[in-house]
């Protein structure tokens, strides 16, 4: 009898224990939390490995392209190509947060094929990543992860493609505002200089001919095409007002615009040299409202008419790849401008013109317009500040030069 009572008592306690849910959450959490944290840690570390590999790949590509162009142009000797490519690689990797446990070691090889005069620059960058002391990947038995990226560029003429590129730039009054301590119009001038430098470097890789034509137009409610003394006098007045009444001291000496009254003018055509575009950008001043349609209309006209194809046919025998870079920092405030801008963007794309767009610290409506104008999401840039504007133009410049100097497989 006593045994039976003890058995029934044990059975009641067992059932009570099984029905009691108190503490289950803590128990389950204790079991799952290490697994969850470990998985999150592995994901973070794996993501960082891929990020470093991506940056190393881009840096290797840029380094081989730059070395190939410099050697073919005679700027450096082939024997200096490896050092030149290495320096360029490290410059491109500047700013990438590697930390003390990540080592990036580039190795470059330069070969010149004397039989045909082709100069090939081959770049290989090895990335050693040591996570041994961080624990997460170590739990999986991994002390070190070794990643390797490779890149090959050729500066021979048959690897080059013709390019016509037209810039449509906002010069409305809001471009006199500041972003990251830099006046927005000055950031745009810096971005354009960097872009044109990259185009020139790629184009000069073949000293026998030219492949790049550039044109530029700035707009507010109208096009910036100063031709007469009266036009330049207006720009002189704008400069004087901005510089001395609004404190925009970064602008050029206003006497520059007074000097340009003496017959200096620009056309809006594309040119084989980047000098006209550089001079034009140098003179842009911010003023007025915004109407991107007038700029897109001119870019469409200049690129789609048959004259542009004929210019390349005479110079390099190719049909050019055509690009428009559209940039604004604000919404259009002229009736119908959004619809007209969209119409010209669609018409240009229908004629195989590739459109990149950059919304510079712009409101959402302007971003939506430029996003719809671009070929796709990879062709649209939302630059929140001056630094991002320069980075956006550098990114587009890389893509444009990659169309000219194609990476070998």
- In a 10 Å sphere around its CB, with 0-12 CB exposed, 13-18 middle and 19+ buried, how is residue 158 labelled? exposed
Q: Is the pLDDT of residue 36 over 90?
A: no
d(CA 130, CA 142): 9
Mean pLDDT across the chain: 79
% the chain with pLDDT above 70: 71
At residue 408, the pLDDT reads: 45
The better pLDDT of the pair 64, 308 is held by 308
Q: Is the pLDDT of residue 161 over 90?
A: no
At residue 133, the pLDDT reads: 45
> Span 286-313, mean pLDDT?
93
Query: For residue 346, what are its two tokens?
Result: 């669609």
State the pLDDT confidence band at 405, using cuts at 50, 70 and 90.
low
Q: Is the pLDDT of residue 407 over 50?
A: no
Residues 77-136: tens digit of each pLDDT: 777 878 888 888 888 877 666 665 677 777 777 776 644 444 455 555 555 555 544 555
User: What string of H, E and C letters represents the secondary structure of the chain?
Assistant: CHHHHHHHHHHHHHHHHHHCCCCHHHHHHHHHHHHHHHHHHHHHHHHHHHHHHHHHHHHHHHHHHHHHHHHHCCCCCHHHHHHHHHHHHHHHHCCCCCCCCEEEEEEEEEEEECCCCEEEEEEEEEEEEECCCCCCCHHHCCCEEEEEEEEEEECCHHHECCEEEEEEEECCHHHHCEECCEEHHHHHHHHHHHHHHHHHHHHCCCCCCCCEEEEEEEECCCECCCCCHHHHHHHHHHHHHHHHHCCCCCCCCCHHHHHCCCCCCCCCCCECCCHHHHHHHHHCCCCCCCCHHHHHHHHHHHHHCHHHHHHHHHHCCCCCEEEEEEEECCCCCCCCHHHHHHHHHHHHHHCCEEEEEEEECCCHHHHHHHHHHCCCHHHEEEECCHHHHHHHHHHHHHHHHHHHECECC
At residue 14, the pLDDT reads: 61
pTM (2 decimals)? 0.66
% the chain with pLDDT above 90: 38
d(CA 170, CA 406): 31
State the pLDDT confidence band at 352, using cuts at 50, 70 and 90.
very high
Residues 228-270: tens digit of each pLDDT: 788 888 888 888 898 888 888 888 888 887 777 766 667 788 9
| Dihedral sign (CA 233, 238, 243, 244) | positive
State the pLDDT confidence band at 42, using cuts at 50, 70 and 90.
low
Instruction: Using alpha carbons, select from 166, 264, 270, 272 the residue that is nearest to residue 219.
Output: 166
Q: Is the pLDDT of residue 191 over 80?
A: yes
Asked if residues 119 and 71 have their Cβ atoms less than 8 Å apart, the reply is yes
Residues 175-185: tens digit of each pLDDT: 999 998 999 99
At residue 98, the pLDDT reads: 63
> Span 54-71, mean pLDDT?
78
Residues 356-380: tens digit of each pLDDT: 999 999 999 999 999 999 999 999 9
Q: CB-based contacts of 213: which residues, under 8 Å, 6+ apart? A: 163, 164, 165, 270, 271, 272, 308, 311, 312, 320
Query: For residue 261, what are its two tokens?
Result: 């009254």
The radius of gyration of the chain from alpha carbons, rounded to an integer in Å, stands at: 30
At residue 253, the pLDDT reads: 85
């Amino acid at each position: 009898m006593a045994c039976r009572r003890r058995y029934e008592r044990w059975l009641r306690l067992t059932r009570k224990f099984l029905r009691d849910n108190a503490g289950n959450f803590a128990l389950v959490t204790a079991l799952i939390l290490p697994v969850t944290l470990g998985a999150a840690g592995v994901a973070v570390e794996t993501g960082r490995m891929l990020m470093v590999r991506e940056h190393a790949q881009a840096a290797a590509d840029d380094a081989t392209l730059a070395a190939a162009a410099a050697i073919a142009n005679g700027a450096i000797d082939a024997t200096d190509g490896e050092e030149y490519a290495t320096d360029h690689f490290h410059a491109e990797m500047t700013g990438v947060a590697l930390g003390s446990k990540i080592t990036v070691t580039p190795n470059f090889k330069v070969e010149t094929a004397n039989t045909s005069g082709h100069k090939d620059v081959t770049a290989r960058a090895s990335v050693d990543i040591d996570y041994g002391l961080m624990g997460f990947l170590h739990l999986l038995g991994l002390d070190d992860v070794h990643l390797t990226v490779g890149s090959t560029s050729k500066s021979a003429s048959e690897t080059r493609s013709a390019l016509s590129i037209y810039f449509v730039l906002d010069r409305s009054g809001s471009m006199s505002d500041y972003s990251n301590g830099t006046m927005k119009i000055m950031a745009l001038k810096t971005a354009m200089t960097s872009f044109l430098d990259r185009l020139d470097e790629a184009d000069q890789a073949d000293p026998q001919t030219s492949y790049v034509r550039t044109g530029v137009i700035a707009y507010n409610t109208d096009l910036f095409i100063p031709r007469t003394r009266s036009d330049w006098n207006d720009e002189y007045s704008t400069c004087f007002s901005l510089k001395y009444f609004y404190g925009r001291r970064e602008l050029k000496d206003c006497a520059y615009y007074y000097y340009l009254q003496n017959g200096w003018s620009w056309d809006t055509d594309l040119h084989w040299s980047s000098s006209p575009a550089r001079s034009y950008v140098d003179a842009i001043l911010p003023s007025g409202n915004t109407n991107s349609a007038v700029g897109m209309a001119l870019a469409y006209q200049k690129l789609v008419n048959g004259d542009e194809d004929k210019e390349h046919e005479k110079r390099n025998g190719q049909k050019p790849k055509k690009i428009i870079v559209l940039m604004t920092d604000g919404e259009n405030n002229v009736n119908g401008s959004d619809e007209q801008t969209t119409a010209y963007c669609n018409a240009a794309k229908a004629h195989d013109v590739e459109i990149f767009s950059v919304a510079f610290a712009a409101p959402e409506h302007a971003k939506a317009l430029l996003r719809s104008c671009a070929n796709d999401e990879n062709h649209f840039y939302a630059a929140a500040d001056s630094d991002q504007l320069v980075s956006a133009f550098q990114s587009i410049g890389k893509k444009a030069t990659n169309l000219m100097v194609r990476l070998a497989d």
